[in-house]
Structure formats: structure tokens, C-alpha cells
């Protein structure tokens, strides 16, 4: 979750984007982690807990962490797997 720490340090630069964080960790662990890094979600940040790995399977994610960038037309423009 180092990416989350980095994003947290510069949230203003992401204000024009919708950011979705997907984890398979239970909500209590996610909440503890967010508290630990002093992450205060802003309006454009969203969290999805996928403990059944449904989205991971649907999106064919093979490596975690993975990042996906979609343009305003909902077209995938960049995919990064791993660190």
C-alpha cells in the first residue's frame, strides 16, 4: 500500500480524477491502515473491499499492486502491474 501513502502525500494533484482503491483486506484492517498514515479521503476517493476476488478475476489482475488509468471516455490508457 505504498502507492496509497504516495497519493496521500499529494492528494491535490489528483483532484480532477476519480480514484478507486481496491483491497482484499477486511474493513477493520483498511481502516487501521488509513488511520496510521493519516489518510483523510476526499470526495473523489473510493474504497472497494473485494474479499471474494470477484473484481480481481473480472479485470484479469494477475499481480498486486496493479494500476489502471482510464480516460474520460472510459478507455484504458495505461496498465501497470507490480511495483
pLDDT by residue for the chain (83 residues), tens only, comes to: 567 777 778 877 877 888 888 888 899 998 998 899 888 877 888 888 998 999 889 988 888 777 788 888 888 888 887 65
> What confidence score (pLDDT) does residue 28 get?
94
Domain that holds residue 61: 2-11+20-81
Q: Supply the DSSP symbol for 11.
A: G
The label of the residue with cell 483532484 reads 15
Structurally, the chain folds into a number of domains equal to 1
> What confidence score (pLDDT) does residue 54 get?
92
pTM over 0.75: no
Q: Supply the DSSP symbol for 60.
A: T
> What confidence score (pLDDT) does residue 6 get?
78
Amino acid at each position: 500500500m505504498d502507492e496509497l501513502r504516495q497519493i496521500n502525500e499529494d492528494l491535490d494533484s489528483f483532484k480532477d480524477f476519480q480514484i478507486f482503491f481496491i483491497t482484499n483486506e477486511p474493513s477493520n484492517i483498511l481502516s487501521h491502515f488509513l488511520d496510521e498514515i493519516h489518510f483523510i479521503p476526499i470526495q473523489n476517493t473510493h474504497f472497494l473491499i473485494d474479499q471474494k476476488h470477484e473484481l480481481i478475476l473480472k479485470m484479469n489482475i494477475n499481480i498486486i499492486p496493479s494500476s489502471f488509468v482510464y480516460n474520460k471516455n472510459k478507455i484504458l490508457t495505461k496498465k501497470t502491474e507490480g511495483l
